[in-house]
Amino acid sequence: MFGLGVQELLIILVLVLIIFGAGKLPQVGSALGKGIKNFKHGLKGEEQEEDKKKLDDNEQK
């Protein structure tokens, strides 16, 4: 994975903890995960399919 070892990953984790703090770390992780998910869906063109499903679900309620 990009030539990163255990020591490098630990240093990155410590820097992230210093910058964002332990309280905001779950929020940052969640936002990052959602962003990656949306990016992947955008590349595959699945966004349109999900929008159709959401519209169908809202119409049924």
pLDDT at 34: 92
pLDDT digits 0-9 by tens, 5-61: 889 989 988 898 888 888 888 888 899 899 998 888 888 776 566 666 676 776 665
Q: Show me where the domains of the chain are located.
A: 23-61
What's the CA gap between 7 and 57, in Å, rounded? 47
What does the chain look like in DSSP terms, one character per residue?
-TT--HHHHHHHHHHHHHHHHHHHHHHHHHHHHHHHHHHHHHHHTTHHHHHHHHHHHHHH-
pLDDT of residue 43: 81
Give the pLDDT of residue 11.
92
